[in-house]
Amino acid sequence: MITLLTILFDGIAYGMLLFVLACGLAVTLGLMNFVNLAHGAFAMAGGYVCAVLVNTYGFPFTAGLPIAFVVSAAIGFLMERLLYRHVYRRSHLDQVLFTVGLVFMAVAGVDYVMGSSQTFIRLPDSLQGRFDLFGVGIGRYRLMIIVICGLLTLALQLILSRTRFGSRLRAAVDDPQVASGLGINVPWVFALTFAFGSGLAGLGGALGAEILGLDPSFPLKFMIYFLIVVTVGGASSITGPFLASLLLGVADVAGKYYVPKLGAFVIYTLMIVILIWRPNGLFGRTAQR
């Protein structure tokens, strides 16, 4: 029972992390229907920025996180303006080729600069270890992840549903033509959204370096996880991807604990079954365009 709760706790932390990593993709892939396989590269960028700042320049970890966000967002913004926007209207095959190309470049480039071995971010002592809460082992670091990611999720939900920018984004996604007719600067909205999503991915990469590991192959290793979150979660709201992330996180941690030999087999099979059963995702309602 106690282990069960610990697994649940770790799984939720993992799932929340996945959500922060993947929610930018939920917008580009889920809403804008752009297949961005390079999403993990932005997360990796954030992770390495944080690692270099903390390990080499002695920044405190808490300062490294926002800088990771800002740097990844800036990279995302530049990439969107320079490259991505030319590919939005292309075929899915072109989008796949383009983003796979970017992933390859990112993987080899980071390998060249940082070396191929695992990178760890030095954590402050206050975040290490675990404490007992009613007998359940609670890792401090994971608790922090849950708190940060939970707050981010709430903020995201509020931004999307309550703010002017949120309604502009929803309008731009629903019908770009009408939206621009109403005076919404659609390319600009997309660019900002893309930058914000990349920034969140970067933050997730920095936060997750401890749990997911950080090495140059990160974008390839976790690509399928991000895709699962978005396709299984569906694209109608951010609640879908959020629930899908939690499900994936808990299933993955539980799977690795109870049937370690099967590895990720369970996850992949589940994904295929869900995609066959509900092609628009578990929580999706809109038809796939």
The 252-281 contact track toward another protein, x by CB under 8 A, reads ---------xxxxx--xx-xx--xx--x--
Task: Say which DSSP state 86 is in.
Answer: G
State in angstroms the smallest separation of the CB of 252 from another protein: 13
**Residue with smaller CB distance to another protein, 9 or 84:** 84
Residue environment code for 42-60, b if the CB has 16+ CB neighbours within 10 A, otherwise e: bbbbbbbbbbbbbeeeeee
CA distance linking residue 201 with residue 40, whole number of Å: 7
- Residues 97-136, mask of contacts with another protein (x by CB under 8 A): xx-xxxxxxxxxx-xx---x--------------------
Phi, psi (deg, nearest 5) at residue 40: -60, -25
Q: Interface mask (CB under 8 A) for another protein, residues 132-171, using x and -? A: ----------------------------------------
Report the residue number, 42 or 141, with the smaller CB distance to another protein.
Answer: 42
Task: Please say which residue, 105 or 147, places its beta carbon nearer to another protein.
Answer: 105
Burial of 180 from C-beta contacts in 10 A (0-12 / 13-18 / 19+): middle
Query: Which amino acid is present at 138?
Result: I
The residues near 159 (Cβ < 8 Å, ≥ 6 apart) are 165, 166
CB atoms within 10 A of CB 221: 14
Residues 226-255 that bind another protein (CB under 8 A): 227-228, 231
Q: Which residues bind another protein (CB under 8 A)?
A: 29, 33, 35, 83, 86-87, 90-94, 96-98, 100-109, 111-112, 116, 220, 223-224, 227-228, 231, 261-265, 268-269, 271-272, 275-276, 279, 288
